[in-house]
Amino acid sequence: MAWGARRESQGRLDEARRLGRRGGFVASAGAVAFGAASPGLASSASALLGGAIALLGGLAGKPRPAWWIATLVLAVAAVLRCYTSGPP
CA distance 44 to 37: 8
Total-model pTM: 0.80
Tens of pLDDT, residue by residue, the chain (88 residues): 888 888 888 988 889 889 888 988 998 898 889 888 888 888 888 889 988 988 888 888 888 888 888 889 989 988 888 876 666 5
Q: Residue 13: which residues within 8 A CB-CB, separation 6 or more?
A: 7
Q: What are the residue ranges spanned by the domains of the chain? A: 2-85
- Provide the total of helices (H) and of strands (E) in the chain, helices listed first: 4, 0
Q: Give the largest CA-CA distance in the chain.
A: 48
Q: What is the pLDDT of residues 45-68, one digit of tens each?
A: 888 998 898 888 888 888 888 888
Give the distance from CA 27 to its chain's centroid. Answer: 5
